[in-house]
């Protein structure tokens, strides 16, 4: 496939390809495995995405950080616990279909097919991931049920956002929004505080179709996250004890990121009939404060 001048396909790790983009508006790196954006740095800004310094770059092992594509199920599979958490897409190589460069942005299109023959899953789907890189990052995941039986689609664009200090950040846009708290026994709750701050493990599936803003005074920036086709916003920080248990995350890694995920999960999951499809998209922007 011909790549434009801004794009290079490298193999920094054995059998593990990375598409590198160097463009006037932004630099980025996308692993072919998982069509996984592991770095995005708009011009004039420090990196927006967190990538664990202990992340694995080995076949069929999820990368800790960036934007993992979690699909066709979120968290554990509802009936087959032996299947990998967060679905099958982030461990598989995707097909890189095209890279198009303009003066204002770079468009990248990936495709993957899952079916019972090649994957330990009973259904079939065709998914496309479209990425538009510029001073903003737009990601669109289109999933089509190409099989003969319906399935429930749950998914997340599982974005790890880099921060300087977990104790100083806050998220607005979730006030008075019901959520499923999944730390301990799953419980439906609601938070009346104007913004969400972090002083413990947070793992919540908010029932929300709205965008949110992450305010980071230490980095003097706000990260604005909009979305479409998404019923759920997942907020996650592992805090101290879970960070210690994750071997691909430093013990103090919890201090350097927050996950804000445009998703369709839990009660927000999507019933997908044969030949039907669903599109979820998210747009990430940055503003100095």
Question: How far is 208 from 178, CA to CA, in rounded Å?
Answer: 8
Closer CB to ligand TA6, 192 or 199, in the complex: 199
Size of the site for ligand TA6 (CB under 6 A): 10
| Residues 100/107, Cβ–Cβ less than 8 Å | yes
- Residue 62 interacts with ligand TA6 (CB under 6 A)? yes
- Residue 144 interacts with ligand TA6 (CB under 6 A)? no
Q: Which residue is nearest to ligand TA6 (CB)?
A: 236
Closer CB to ligand TA6, 23 or 36, in the complex: 36
Strands ordered across the beta sheet of 36-42: 7-13, 16-22, 26-31, 36-42
User: Per-residue x/- marks for ligand TA6, 76-115, CB under 6 A?
Assistant: ---------xx-----------------------------
In 3D space, the residue among 239, 113, 266 whose CA is nearest the CA of residue 179 turns out to be 266
Q: How far is the CB of 211 from ligand TA6 (least distance, A)?
A: 18
- Residue 203 interacts with ligand TA6 (CB under 6 A)? yes
Q: HSE (CB half, 13 Å, CA atoms) of 124?
A: 10
- Residue 179 interacts with ligand TA6 (CB under 6 A)? no
H helices within the chain, ranges in order? 239-245
- Residue 243 interacts with ligand TA6 (CB under 6 A)? no
Question: How far is 108 from 164, CA to CA, in rounded Å?
Answer: 30
Output phi, psi for 267, to 5 deg.
-70, -10
The residues that touch ligand TA6, with contacts defined as CB under 6 A, are 62, 75, 85-86, 158, 203, 234, 236, 259, 261
């Amino acid at each position: 496939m011909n790549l434009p001048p801004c794009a290079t396909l490298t193999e920094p790790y054995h059998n593990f390809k990375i598409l590198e983009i160097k463009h006037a508006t932004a630099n980025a790196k996308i692993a072919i495995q998982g069509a996984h954006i592991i770095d995005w740095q708009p011009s004039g800004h420090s990196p927006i995405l967190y990538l664990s310094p202990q992340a694995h770059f080995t076949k069929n092992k999820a990368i800790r950080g960036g934007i993992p594509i979690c699909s066709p199920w979120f968290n554990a599979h509802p009936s087959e616990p032996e299947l990998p958490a967060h679905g099958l897409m982030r461990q598989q190589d995707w097909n890189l279909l095209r890279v198009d460069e303009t003066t204002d942005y770079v468009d990248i299109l990936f495709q993957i097919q899952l079916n019972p023959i090649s994957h330990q899953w009973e259904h079939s789907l065709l998914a496309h991931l479209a990425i538009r890189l510029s001073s903003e990052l737009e990601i669109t995941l289109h999933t089509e049920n190409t099989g003969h039986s319906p399935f429930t689609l749950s998914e997340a664009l599982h974005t790890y956002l880099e921060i300087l200090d977990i104790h100083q950040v806050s998220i607005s846009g979730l006030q008075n929004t019901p959520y499923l708290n999944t730390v301990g026994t799953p419980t439906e709750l609601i938070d009346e505080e104007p913004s969400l701050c972090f002083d413990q493990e947070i793992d919540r599936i908010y029932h929300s179709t709205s965008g949110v803003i992450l305010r980071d005074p230490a980095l003097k920036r706000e990260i604005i996250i909009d979305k479409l086709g998404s019923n759920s916003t997942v907020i996650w920080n592992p805090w101290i004890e879970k960070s210690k248990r994750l071997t691909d995350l430093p013990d103090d890694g919890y201090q350097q990121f927050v996950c804000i995920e445009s998703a369709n999960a839990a009660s927000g999951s999507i019933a997908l009939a044969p030949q039907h499809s669903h599109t979820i998209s998210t747009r990430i922007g940055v503003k100095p404060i």
